[in-house]
Amino acid sequence: MDNRPIGFLDSGVGGLTVVKELRRQLPHETIVYIGDSARAPYGPRPAEQIKAFTWDMVNFLLTKNVKMIVFACNTATAVAWEEVKAKLTIPVLGVILPGSSAAIKNTQAGRIGVIATPMTVKSDIYQQKIKLLAPQMQVTSLACPKFVPIVESNEVKSSVAKKIVYETLAPLIGRIDTLILGCTHYPLLRPLIQNVMGPDVRLIDSGAECIRDVSVLLNYFQINASRLVKDRQNLFYTTASVERFRHIALEWLEEDINVERVTL
């Protein structure tokens, strides 16, 4: 048993899509979340800068006595996960491997699409991991640089969002049967994405898939939280507007949360 919290990091509010799945599968675990919305989006930034920002978030979570860190961000996973994992003594999980294996399991025709930030696409990491596990797969990647700003500004229901999603995804229509949402912000655009791609395309939520791995590791290291603890307190930190973060969290998690502003 280990009642310490699990740390989640993301460039902004996207990691809440991963937290939502944790709340569903492992509701007795406590959460500490850091979202760096003040410096989002990370995707168009150089790798060294993303690495430095990710270390800022990791070091912040370590001051909160976390028992495990989940990189609830594909971009941070692509550039910094290997390095951070090698340096810490607690388990550190990323979202890319779970997303890749789920896509391989789900595809019927072996034609997998990956939509992600410019850095995740540039790193070629999904293509590499998928090909390693299943060389026969055809992988088509597409950067969607306009998606994260739509989510961070809470405009997912606007007509502009609809237009941008349609225009961006048009090159993938009819070419794939499975689509990895390779950025944790994208599940907030899921209805629009599904609508553009059509009902036959299976959408894979990389963040949600990663919670299955969290569960396996908690069991493996025997660090599950006790179900008997009553007043566990989840803590959410943002580097930008508390109000905006709370508003998005309220809609997405369907619960009111405590949010504090921090500077990294």
Determine if 98 is a binding residue for ligand DGL (CB under 6 A): no
Give catalytic status of residue 73 as yes or no.
yes
Determine if 184 is a binding residue for ligand DGL (CB under 6 A): yes
Catalytic-labelled residue, pool 9, 32, 73, 259 = 73
Q: Which residue in the set 5, 6, 7, 10 belongs to the binding site for ligand DGL (CB under 6 A)?
A: 10
Considering the complex, what minimum distance in angstroms separates the CB of residue 218 from ligand DGL? 22
Determine if 11 is a binding residue for ligand DGL (CB under 6 A): yes
Catalytic-labelled residue, pool 144, 181, 183, 196 = 183
Minimum CB distance to ligand DGL smaller for 121 or for 223: 121
Considering the complex, what minimum distance in angstroms separates the CB of residue 112 from ligand DGL? 17
Determine if 205 is a binding residue for ligand DGL (CB under 6 A): no
Q: How many residues bind ligand DGL (CB under 6 A)?
A: 17
Minimum CB distance to ligand DGL smaller for 33 or for 42: 42
Determine if 238 is a binding residue for ligand DGL (CB under 6 A): no
Give catalytic status of residue 144 as yes or no.
no
- Angstrom CA distances, 50 to 36, 53, 79, 138, stand at 11, 5, 7, 29
Query: For the purposes of burial, counting CB atoms within 10 Å of the CB of 224, is it exposed (0-12), middle (13-18) or buried (19 or more)?
Result: middle
Determine if 249 is a binding residue for ligand DGL (CB under 6 A): no
Determine if 40 is a binding residue for ligand DGL (CB under 6 A): yes
Q: Which residue in the set 20, 53, 61, 75 belongs to the binding site for ligand DGL (CB under 6 A)?
A: 75
CA gap 225, 227 in Å, rounded: 6
Stretch that binds ligand DGL, among 8-16, 81-89, 192-200, 227-235 (CB under 6 A): 8-16
Determine if 29 is a binding residue for ligand DGL (CB under 6 A): no
Query: Is the CB of residue 8 less than 8 Å from the CB of residue 32?
Result: yes
Determine if 123 is a binding residue for ligand DGL (CB under 6 A): no
| Site residues, ligand DGL (CB under 6 A) | 10-12, 14, 40-43, 73-75, 117, 120, 148, 183-185
